[in-house]
Structure 1
């Protein structure tokens, strides 16, 4: 580790700050250009990797027509840069080649190891992509945007290698959003001789209301003054910077931060341990018997949301009937923003509730145990899909995970198998023999047929969850 300037990876504590920003018209244009370049570069990497894979897959087989059609432009690039003219049949321009001769020439090129190596090299070098597409050489773009997009592509492959067992797929093409929503990343650099803090570097804080970003320049932000008041900016290093635009047209800036000191004060140990059972009847029941009611933000706001969505649907049908593009239908676009605002309000209220609840649980307990629920599979049940989506279980577990690490506490997830069906006192499992049947969602209270103990379903499940978590840590 460098004592004078440790890197982001060498610093033990990491944190993220997301701020609303208010760019000028020119800055909006630069951000929009950067978002397009980031998405385009990522998609180009995916396409080139597929070409390299097809070169290997089709080297000993016949080439299908679709492969010939979609790769013609990129093979012409290979022809100009690395093609061996002595091994092909054509001496004229690539565009003058007829389909038969093109297929014969391409068959020879695919079988050359040089072709495969060329495409693998293109994935590692951004100069090939920048030379081919002139608009990527614009002064409005920075090299860091393209390099960070390529780094994201490599990170996607690393994630696939770690967890590809039906969990994470290979990198796919990114779809362009109708209304320009998306994100771009830039890296922060520090000059020699300057301290690595929040006030130096290519991305830096100017004052409590303004930051400076590479190429974009000075930009006004909010939600920064409180952070600077609580932390010591001189001891914090800025890493990756993400600029994003949401579907409401709002712009955001996110800083990845690192420090040698913790960002949050670690509270004293309480010795308390808690198991929580997440359900749809109430939000959660803990092992102490306390219940937190489900706020049901989506269902409560559904009345007003339905009306707004009906108006949006009618305007969409009218535009379709008149054969107008939705992008040119001003009334449709106005209503779309109105629906998005209502959805955003519901999402913000739910996130605020989950943040407050998760923070209270982590601060007041040294160990919190919850079930590792497969929300994706549970959403296939159409009778419960809306209720499960409304409570936000997966988001709540994610918040508990990172807050436990932030405050030096323990959070454990366990397999939910038989946590509801098992008696906490004697270990008897309902439905395990002919004497009983499995509990259904209607059975909120039950009596154990083995020991006669009366149980409240959710409290008993929370006790079983806590016991499983303690056994996992033992």
Structure 2
């Protein structure tokens, strides 16, 4: 059995939205209180023992007495906050990932997690699902939901949409063995080039909606500027308190529209990469890719936006977990000189500029497509590396 995540688009009514927003506020309150307690405790006595997840859960009943509204929300969501905070401190001490920060209600992406207890999460039918403290709610999903559900995370996106991420236990699946092997070269003109000379084209989803998004970005900048001037004018008069920026409905509408188009671009890109990676895992038993350092490549300001649009890290992440799910093998190799060596004879022809897409090997006179040649070298490296292991 394997733990998997399923993302549902949910459609709460007004009462359910109010309860969800209240739960967002309560988990944020508990996080900030516990973080403040940990911080003050360490400042007062650096040698004191760290308060663990279990110890923080013991403090929850005391907090509910002090803040009665915490009793109205889903109880396991508050326990999950303590677990997340404990994990954040663990990463800070062991991996030096950064000190945990306080949460703000102004952050557009809010979420909370609830555990599966006494059948509080279950699918009613193809259109409705039961969620903790929320009852039945309409949803949309592109696949069947397994019976064993471990937890659910309710999330509100910057565009104002609500989602439920289910952690489920699913049976291990395996694609049929094909005995095929492939090397993948990540590109800019083409997203993925295989050693079998198959090219998956790059689709600039950001350009498809660029005009509409730019229009709303301009509206947002103009409306925000007018709101700031209005606040300054009200403050100068001094008769009434200036309204917060969140109370300007036209500003918030423009902000949601910008987020909506950004979310749509990300969703289209993710869906495209899902289809490609699933096809690759289904068709090949061994997949070899480069260990690319995208952060270094983004320093090239002429290509930074294009490289960021390619989402190479997302491709690698999807291939990693899909190969594990479906019984295939992924090999990651060093990209050193993969585009310089001739795949036919191994001759090193030196560095080629990006505008050179084809070159003839001086040693064996073979005409090499730059990307296909690189993917063949990546496959060779991967097979050698797999044999060594």
Q: TM class, shorter-chain normalised?
A: 0.7 to 0.9
* CA distance in structure 2 between the partners assigned to 1:42 and 1:138 by the alignment: 12
How far the C-alpha of 1:177 sits from its partner, in A, is 4.8
How far the C-alpha of 1:147 sits from its partner, in A, is 0.8
Q: Trace 1:158-177 onto structure 2 (pairs within 5 A).
A: 158-159=90-91, 164=95, 169-177=97-105
SS class of match (1:443): coil
- Of residues 179, 183, 203, the one that matches 1:275 is 183
Structure-2 change in CA distance of 1:52 and 1:428 (3 Å): farther
- Which residue does 1:24 correspond to in 2? 13
* CA distance in structure 1 between the partners assigned to 2:230 and 2:35 by the alignment: 38
SS class of match (1:322): helix
Q: Does 1:305 align with 2:213?
A: yes
SS class of match (1:172): coil
TM-score by length of 1: 0.72
Does the 8 Å CA contact 1:238/1:257 hold for their aligned counterparts? yes
Q: Could you report, residue by residue, the CA deviation over 1:395-424 in whole angstroms, capped at 9, with x for unpaired residues?
A: 122222222222221222222222223332
Q: Does 1:214 align with 2:135?
A: no
- Of residues 414, 426, 439, the one that matches 2:352 is 439
TM-score by length of 2: 0.87
- Which residue does 1:373 correspond to in 2? 292
- Which residue does 2:162 correspond to in 1? 251
After superposition, the CA RMSD in angstroms is 2.6
- Which residue does 1:13 correspond to in 2? 2
Q: Could you report, residue by residue, the CA deviation over 1:249-294 in whole angstroms, capped at 9, with x for unpaired residues?
A: 21111211114x33x4x23211111111111121121101122211
* CA distance in structure 1 between the partners assigned to 2:276 and 2:338 by the alignment: 23
Larger radius of gyration between Structure 1 and Structure 2:
1
- Of residues 237, 250, 254, the one that matches 2:148 is 237
* CA distance in structure 2 between the partners assigned to 1:121 and 1:306 by the alignment: 47
Structure-2 change in CA distance of 1:411 and 1:394 (3 Å): same
- May I ask how many residue pairs the two structures share in their alignment? 375
Q: Does 1:395 align with 2:314?
A: yes
Q: Could you report, residue by residue, the CA deviation over 1:33-54 in whole angstroms, capped at 9, with x for unpaired residues?
A: 2222223333344333333443
* CA distance in structure 2 between the partners assigned to 1:287 and 1:307 by the alignment: 42
- Which residue does 2:239 correspond to in 1? none
Q: Could you report, residue by residue, the CA deviation over 1:195-239 in whole angstroms, capped at 9, with x for unpaired residues?
A: xxxxxx222222222222222222222227x415xxxx5xx3110
Q: Could you report, residue by residue, the CA deviation over 1:61-100 in whole angstroms, capped at 9, with x for unpaired residues?
A: xxxxxxxxxxxxxxxxxxxxxxxxxxxxxxxxxxxxxxxx
Structure-2 change in CA distance of 1:25 and 1:45 (3 Å): same
How far the C-alpha of 1:451 sits from its partner, in A, is 4.8
Unpaired runs of 5+ residues, structure 1, are: 1-11, 58-112, 191-200, 432-437
Does the 8 Å CA contact 2:53/2:83 hold for their aligned counterparts? no
Unpaired runs of 5+ residues, structure 2, are: 232-242
How far the C-alpha of 1:15 sits from its partner, in A, is 2.1
Does the 8 Å CA contact 2:31/2:103 hold for their aligned counterparts? no
- Which residue does 2:112 correspond to in 1? 184
- Which residue does 1:435 correspond to in 2? none
Does the 8 Å CA contact 2:154/2:163 hold for their aligned counterparts? yes
